[in-house]
């Protein structure tokens, strides 16, 4: 089974169970300051998991593009990826554990669908703790479906619990499904979740039935939800009998292109470089081809994108690939995915230009690092040193992006060693600091729905329209970040705003606030929203139902977030700062002052 068949089979299966097929959202989250990228299928739907009414109903199914870089250093093994596709089905206060588990079992084992041998299926459930009882209900359902008790494993919260977006919020136990690959057990305690490769996770059903409160306790949610996830790449690897996702049709053409360009094959020595290049360029293509596309930069999403491209360049050096390699690799990826994601083909020119430009910039950075290393080597010779300190090697890596393996090779040519242990120590310290920041930036879920955040969210609608009025219709939202203190709004515009333009935007927003418009919400198809002139990226299918928020004759925008009832409650709007976010993208930070 190929990926395109799996996508259609999954979505069609859940349509037959009364679900509405919806479009996947952008990789760049809208109005969600807690994540840089959409890291799970649930992110675009969190407002509805919290109780907002979804225009498509209470049963949904979709295929969501995702980016995760928290375990970027694991990319290169059999299954870790930075970009992946997640199939999901959702119950928003509708059905619960019984239906979700029964349907998961049917799709996995029925000969009409994936047809896995039921005897190869093992599952895990939440074992319970002092705060929340064991998920006996899920265990009973699995037993009724014929899964024997010895293949049902109760695991702790770290394995079988989906936590809240922040310190508080909706959460709940999950049940995970694993296929036994037939490999020998790694020991007496071998079970699903261990890293030996015997058990391959294929699906996860999350039951959001609790809310974690400020005091750390768990209370029952008024609305119990189901949130499931099945990774496309991992699932087709299993279906095709492959021991790695990189041998499937999603990656083989990319790997073949790298082989043709380098004149080398993927072997034990070159495998890591092949896989990192294929994964990272694929991720970069999807970010650059997104409707909310960002450019490589030094902050936020732009920094992650830059890191992906530059890591691929570093590994390309190992294979002897010439400058400009990213262009044919990206063209292969676009051709491979353009049927499922036509936006990649439509924006191929921009994708290629951005990739090649960043690749060229990094070549200069590497040359700079080479110059710095040569100076260090000269000083080492002068002082009769034989070992390059690890902290110096790490500084070259961290500030100049100069790979350790390059440093080691050049030092070896000059008769020097590199303090690898010292480098590792500095690297671990750096990762610990980065991990703390990543946990904050990639925590997942929805920002709080407090009164202040809701007001600022509503104000972004007024700001968006005011920018279009003052600067022109080319203005498009490129992202936003909202917390209780301020809003941050990124938009496409080629030049710095003048003081006069900022004052005009402020005045328009404040006039709309003073008008005290009623904030009306209507549900309509995306085509109807277009016809009515609503602002949107229009990524949904033409007949898909969306929410449109209207504020008088000033603003009309497709959105799913929280809003105030009248604009008059917002207070006075004030732009605090306007500056560059990335190439062709400006950023405004603004506040609402209550008077």
DSSP 347: T
User: Structural domain of residue 296, as residue ranges?
Assistant: 253-360
Q: Are both 100 and 159 inside the same structural domain?
A: yes
Diameter of the chain by CA atoms?
Answer: 77
| Residue 480 tokens, joined | 């936003």
Q: Are both 26 and 157 inside the same structural domain?
A: yes
Average pLDDT, the chain: 89
In whole angstroms, give the CA distance from residue 480 to residue 454. Answer: 13
pLDDT score for 98: 97
| Residue 47 tokens, joined | 């407002």
Q: Are both 30 and 67 inside the same structural domain?
A: yes
Give me the mean pLDDT over the 157-181 stretch. 85
371 part of a folded domain: no
| Closest to 22 in 3D by CA, of 51, 48, 50 | 48
Query: Is residue 250 classed exposed, middle or buried when 0-12, 13-18 and 19+ CB atoms within 10 A define those classes?
Result: buried
pLDDT score for 438: 41
Q: Are both 241 and 292 inside the same structural domain?
A: no
The CATH number of residue 107's host domain is 3.30.930.10
423 part of a folded domain: no
The CATH number of residue 561's host domain is 3.30.980.10
| Residue 450 tokens, joined | 């407090």
Q: Are both 134 and 84 inside the same structural domain?
A: yes
- Per-residue model confidence as pLDDT tens digits over 86-132: 999 999 999 999 999 999 999 999 999 999 999 999 999 999 998 89
Highest mean pLDDT among 30-39, 386-395, 476-485, 533-542: 386-395
Which of residues 341, 360, 379 is at a domain's end? 360
Distance between start and end Cα atoms, the chain: 62
Q: Are both 177 and 305 inside the same structural domain?
A: no
Pairing of strands 83-92, 59-67: antiparallel
Q: What is the SS3 assignment for 72?
A: helix
CB 190 within 8 A of CB 196: yes
**Looking at the predicted structure, is the pLDDT value of residue 409 above 80?**
no
pLDDT score for 405: 74
CB 154 within 8 A of CB 136: no
Under the banding of pLDDT at 50, 70 and 90, the label for residue 437 is very low
Q: Are both 242 and 264 inside the same structural domain?
A: no
Percent of the chain predicted with pLDDT > 70: 94
| Residue 336 tokens, joined | 């491979």
Under the banding of pLDDT at 50, 70 and 90, the label for residue 443 is very low
538 part of a folded domain: yes
pLDDT score for 86: 95
Q: Are both 52 and 174 inside the same structural domain?
A: yes
Q: Are both 157 and 29 inside the same structural domain?
A: yes
CA angle 508, 514, 519 (to 5 degrees): 90
Q: Are both 59 and 163 inside the same structural domain?
A: yes
433 part of a folded domain: no
208 part of a folded domain: yes
Which of residues 199, 214, 246 is at a domain's end? 246
Distances (CA, A) of 301 to 68, 305, 362: 11, 6, 18
- Per-residue model confidence as pLDDT tens digits over 31-45: 555 678 888 888 788
Q: Are both 556 and 479 inside the same structural domain?
A: yes
- Per-residue model confidence as pLDDT tens digits over 296-309: 887 778 888 988 99
In whole angstroms, give the CA distance from residue 347 to residue 334. Answer: 10
Q: Are both 64 and 156 inside the same structural domain?
A: yes
CB 294 within 8 A of CB 305: yes
397 part of a folded domain: no
DSSP E strands in 508-595: the ranges are 519-525, 545-551, 555-558, 572-582, 585-593
- Per-residue model confidence as pLDDT tens digits over 133-150: 999 999 999 999 999 999
Which of residues 246, 276, 295 is at a domain's end? 246
DSSP 51: T
| Residue 487 tokens, joined | 């809003």
pLDDT score for 585: 87
281 part of a folded domain: yes
Split into its structural domains, the chain has a count of 3
| Closest to 52 in 3D by CA, of 478, 549, 567, 487 | 549
- Per-residue model confidence as pLDDT tens digits over 420-436: 999 999 888 876 665 55
Strand partners, 491: 477, 586
Under the banding of pLDDT at 50, 70 and 90, the label for residue 448 is low
Measure CA 344 to chain center. Answer: 17
92 part of a folded domain: yes
pTM: predicted TM-score of the whole model, two decimal places: 0.76
């Amino acid at each position: 089974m190929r990926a395109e068949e799996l996508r259609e089979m999954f979505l069609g299966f859940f349509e037959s169970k009364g679900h509405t097929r919806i479009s996947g959202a952008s990789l760049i989250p809208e109005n969600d300051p807690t994540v840089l990228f959409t890291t799970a299928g649930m992110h675009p739907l969190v407002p509805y998991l919290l109780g907002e009414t979804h225009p498509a109903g209470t049963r949904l199914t979709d295929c969501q593009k995702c980016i995760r870089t928290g375990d970027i250093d694991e990319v290169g093994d059999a299954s870790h990826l930075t970009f992946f596709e997640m199939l999901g089905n959702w119950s928003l206060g509708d059905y619960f554990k019984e239906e979700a588990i029964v349907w998961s079992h049917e799709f996995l084992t029925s000969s009409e669908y994936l047809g896995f041998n039921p005897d190869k299926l093992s599952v895990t459930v939440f074992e319970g703790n002092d705060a929340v009882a064991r998920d006996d209900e899920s265990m009973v359902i699995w037993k009724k479906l014929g899964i024997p008790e010895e293949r049902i494993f109760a695991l702790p919260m770290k394995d079988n619990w989906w936590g809240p977006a922040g310190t508080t919020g909706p959460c709940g136990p999950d049940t995970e499904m694993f296929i036994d690959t037939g490999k020998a057990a790694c020991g007496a305690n071998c079970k699903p979740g261990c890293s030996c490769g015997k058990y391959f996770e294929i699906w996860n059903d999350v039951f959001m039935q609790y809310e974690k409160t400020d005091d750390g306790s768990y209370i029952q949610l008024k609305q119990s939800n189901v949130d499931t996830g099945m990774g496309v790449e991992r699932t087709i690897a299993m279906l095709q009998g492959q021991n790695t996702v990189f041998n499937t049709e999603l990656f083989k053409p990319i790997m073949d292109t790298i082989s043709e360009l380098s004149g080398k094959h993927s072997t034990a020595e070159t495998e890591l470089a092949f896989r990192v290049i294929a994964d990272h360029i694929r991720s970069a293509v999807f970010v650059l081809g997104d409707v909310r596309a960002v450019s490589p930069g030094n902050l936020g999403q732009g920094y992650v994108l830059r890191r992906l491209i530059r890591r691929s360049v570093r590994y390309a050096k190992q294979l002897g690939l010439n400058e400009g390699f990213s262009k044919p690799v990206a063209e292969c990826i676009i051709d491979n995915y353009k049927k499922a994601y036509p936006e990649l083909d439509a924006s191929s020119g921009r994708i290629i230009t951005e990739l090649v430009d960043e690749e060229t910039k990094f070549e200069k950075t590497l040359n700079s690092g080479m110059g710095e290393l040569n100076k260090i080597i000269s000083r080492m010779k002068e002082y009769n040193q034989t070992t390059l300190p690890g902290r110096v090697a790490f500084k070259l890596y961290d500030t100049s992006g100069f790979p350790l393996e390059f440093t080691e090779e050049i030092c070896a040519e000059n008769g020097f060693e590199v303090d690898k242990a010292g480098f590792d120590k500095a690297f671990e310290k750096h990762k610990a600091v980065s991990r703390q920041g990543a946990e904050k930036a990639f925590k997942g879920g929805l920002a709080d729905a407090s009164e202040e955040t809701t007001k600022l969210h509503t104000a972004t609608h007024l700001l968006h329209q005011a920018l279009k009025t003052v600067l022109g219709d080319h203005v498009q939202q490129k992202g936003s970040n909202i917390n209780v203190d301020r809003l941050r709004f990124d938009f496409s515009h080629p030049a710095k705003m003048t003081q006069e333009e900022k004052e005009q935007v402020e005045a328009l927003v404040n006039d709309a606030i003073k008008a005290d418009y009623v904030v009306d919400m209507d549900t309509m198809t995306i085509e109807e929203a277009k016809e009515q002139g609503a602002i949107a990226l229009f990524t949904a299918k033409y007949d898909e139902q969306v929410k449109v928020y209207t504020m008088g004759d000033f603003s009309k925008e497709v959105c799913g977030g929280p809003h105030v009832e009248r604009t008059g409650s917002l207070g006075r709007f004030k732009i605090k700062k306007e500056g560059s976010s990335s190439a062709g993208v400006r950023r405004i930070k603004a506040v609402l002052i209550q008077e």
